[in-house]
Structure 1
């Protein structure tokens, strides 16, 4: 679930005087020169609309594959938090208190919670942030993109994932009106039999990019965040059934995604407003999110074709787009058991690491390789020298290689 810098979310945010740049689209303002960007920030593009978002996804993806991020990268993220506990999309001067007019961003805040909870050692920050999220819960049990905005499926879904990551029980988090996040989420589910059967819309009166909100809601229906592994096989398959529970609606949402992906293996996105080319384009980000959702739902067979499409086509997209895109692919690989270091021939982990400050600790298999190199015949260790001297002295006609057995990567 990459909640979700879609065109629909961008439009909704603009109404509220704040925009959110899609992960798969260029920022709508000029990119500042590299020296103007914070040293701990991932990516080189303008962070105004997605700084906290892309940083959170980068850190979360690194943690998922065993990479310990640079301390200054984590410090940059925690430094974005306002005194209230919420996070804006980005604030340039973290040394100053947040401007009262600076809109806080529930999506960025919830992503930050998931990243910081996964990294550990940030309990106070996470607790304060969760407190803020609870304080801005709408009467219907959900959340809008900004406090006070109408609830939407994307924002409600990623906050559910944040609550779960922080050790909360989402179904026990009730609004002043006594509604839970799941009460709100169910209102966005489309019934079976009609148009977009089983999908989750962004909002009832503003459907948005339906695959985007559906992938988010499928994970939330299971009480899961952005990092998942393959779930138990869904015995219902891809049949849409009347749903009265959020779990049933989640199944229907996954069935919708499976059908949308079955023909080509990828989702499409409509042209941006003002685009000269009216043709739809492949939607890499939402396809990756759909793979995560299908895998979590236990529809692993249905996830295979889009995963293969991503492996063939998406690495180039990630190189062009930046850290959030790399993170989406890493999370898709993790959800399906694919190797993010050999994803269609691309090393997503190295690619992600290269977009920000050098991590403090490499991935586990990289560390194993280093340990092996330090101890085997590729280095002149003490035992190599002793063994060679011994062999030469007794004229045995062979050298001790000193190599240990190859370790499985």
Structure 2
């Protein structure tokens, strides 16, 4: 079982509860022990200093996505490391040591999905993006879902990430199908509908239990919510709904009906809003035999999903909580994946991102260029644009007045001379 090194099956709770193999989580893996034969050296160009074995592509992709959204042009070595990890068939593994051959069994949908989103955000890598999308299409399950590793049963987290990548690459998930089941059908497999208890409706389970039953899982729900809302990284939506998300409507006879794609985002948004409201503005991770702990990753994805679906007001408490607890989650700004994730949340919420941008930039090679947009929000940029226009207008008006005044003065002088 992998450590909490990357998202996906760092739905660790879900993996343990269902008995499924765990995929990685959204956080740097533990720092390698000195002299450990399994600890991989940190390559040049990679963000973060911890062992990249389980999360190298994951954290690099998040970092590059967040920095691209902050208008930071990363070093060639940082981008080259990510593109160099792609295999000939288009997929990415979690990490591949320099010179190591690709192994199809180690390629995973999570790494591939976030790498696609990073390269789309950076721009200029269409061939690599196209090959990555083809890999996703080739490794889709017959039920429309995606597994962490090809050939395994699908899960909500991996399916959600694949849908995010398709949206980023401008590929309609409704048109990506196997055996008549498209990507939205695959995502719907994991969402609890009208057959569930009212307080569970709209949630996502990680995977069904052996008897087919689904249990709500915080991280699976939060991560799938961004896909349900039609979004991808980085989240940059201007849609805003006045009302809270609508809970799933369950008229008589609808208990056996799957949640439709049209209702999915609102249903999961309503569930997450309730969970955040009763959970002190954050989700909680509960593992068998362990005390409940705050789920930073789940809370971040919940905020992103709510903002994408047009409900930023319902995400405000979670964004504030993450800001307050950010130093703990990011280990003082040294955890590249957590720092990038927190920056992505603040960008989506249009908060001040200067400090986080600086922290993330310091965790990798020196960037090629940084613009002032890296330290301002989108709203501030819009204000600057308006201010700039106003300043130019005043200059134009002032010149017109000056020219007109000069002409008038000249005419008066001429008249005086004639008199």
Q: Give the Cα–Cα distance (whole angstroms) in 2 for the partners of residues 284 and 324 of structure 1.
A: 12
2:286 matched to 1:284?
Answer: no
Q: Is the 8 A contact 2:15 2:206 kept in 1?
A: no
CA drift of 1:53 comes to 0.5
Query: Aligned match of 2:80 in 75, 96, 109?
Result: 75
CA drift of 1:212 comes to 1.3
3-state SS of 2:294 partner: strand
Q: Is the 8 A contact 1:233 1:300 kept in 2?
A: yes
Query: What is residue 405 of structure 1 aligned with on the other side?
Result: none
3-state SS of 1:319 partner: coil
Query: What is residue 190 of structure 1 aligned with on the other side?
Result: 192
- Judged with a 3 Å threshold, the aligned counterparts in structure 2 of structure 1 residues 126 and 32 are, in CA distance, closer, same or farther, namely farther
What is the Cα-based RMSD across aligned positions, in Å? 2.8
Alignment of structure 1 residues 138-149 onto 2, 5 Å: 138-149=141-152
Q: Give the Cα–Cα distance (whole angstroms) in 2 for the partners of residues 13 and 78 of structure 1.
A: 34
Alignment of structure 1 residues 353-372 onto 2, 5 Å: 353-365=361-373
- Judged with a 3 Å threshold, the aligned counterparts in structure 2 of structure 1 residues 130 and 35 are, in CA distance, closer, same or farther, namely closer
- Judged with a 3 Å threshold, the aligned counterparts in structure 2 of structure 1 residues 11 and 48 are, in CA distance, closer, same or farther, namely farther
Query: What is residue 139 of structure 2 aligned with on the other side?
Result: 136
Q: Is the 8 A contact 2:247 2:270 kept in 1?
A: yes
Query: Aligned match of 1:220 in 227, 234, 247?
Result: 227
2:262 matched to 1:247?
Answer: yes
2:266 matched to 1:266?
Answer: no
3-state SS of 1:258 partner: helix
- Judged with a 3 Å threshold, the aligned counterparts in structure 2 of structure 1 residues 225 and 280 are, in CA distance, closer, same or farther, namely same
Query: What is residue 203 of structure 1 aligned with on the other side?
Result: 207
Q: Give the Cα–Cα distance (whole angstroms) in 2 for the partners of residues 69 and 116 of structure 1.
A: 12
- Structure 1 unaligned spans of 5+: 342-346, 369-409
CA drift of 1:151 comes to 1.4
Query: What is residue 337 of structure 2 aligned with on the other side?
Result: 324
CA drift of 1:221 comes to 1.8
Query: What is residue 180 of structure 2 aligned with on the other side?
Result: 178
Structure 1 length normalisation: TM-score?
0.79
Q: Give the Cα–Cα distance (whole angstroms) in 2 for the partners of residues 239 and 67 of structure 1.
A: 38
- Judged with a 3 Å threshold, the aligned counterparts in structure 2 of structure 1 residues 38 and 50 are, in CA distance, closer, same or farther, namely same
- Judged with a 3 Å threshold, the aligned counterparts in structure 2 of structure 1 residues 331 and 116 are, in CA distance, closer, same or farther, namely same
3-state SS of 2:298 partner: helix
Alignment of structure 1 residues 122-133 onto 2, 5 Å: 122-133=125-136
CA drift of 1:13 comes to 12
Q: Give the Cα–Cα distance (whole angstroms) in 1 for the partners of residues 215 and 102 of structure 2.
A: 31
- Judged with a 3 Å threshold, the aligned counterparts in structure 2 of structure 1 residues 139 and 20 are, in CA distance, closer, same or farther, namely closer
Q: Is the 8 A contact 2:146 2:155 kept in 1?
A: yes
Q: Give the Cα–Cα distance (whole angstroms) in 2 for the partners of residues 363 and 162 of structure 1.
A: 27
- Structure 2 unaligned spans of 5+: 1-5, 250-257, 377-419
CA drift of 1:289 comes to 1.2
Query: What is residue 150 of structure 1 aligned with on the other side?
Result: 153
Query: Aligned match of 1:44 in 38, 43, 49?
Result: 49
Query: Aligned match of 1:7 in 6, 12, 30?
Result: 12
CA drift of 1:14 comes to 9.2
- Judged with a 3 Å threshold, the aligned counterparts in structure 2 of structure 1 residues 20 and 32 are, in CA distance, closer, same or farther, namely farther
Q: Is the 8 A contact 2:235 2:348 kept in 1?
A: yes
Q: Give the Cα–Cα distance (whole angstroms) in 1 for the partners of residues 139 and 351 of structure 2.
A: 38
3-state SS of 1:36 partner: coil
Q: Which has the larger radius of gyration?
A: 2
Query: What is residue 99 of structure 1 aligned with on the other side?
Result: 103
3-state SS of 1:268 partner: strand
Query: Aligned match of 1:348 in 347, 356, 361?
Result: 356
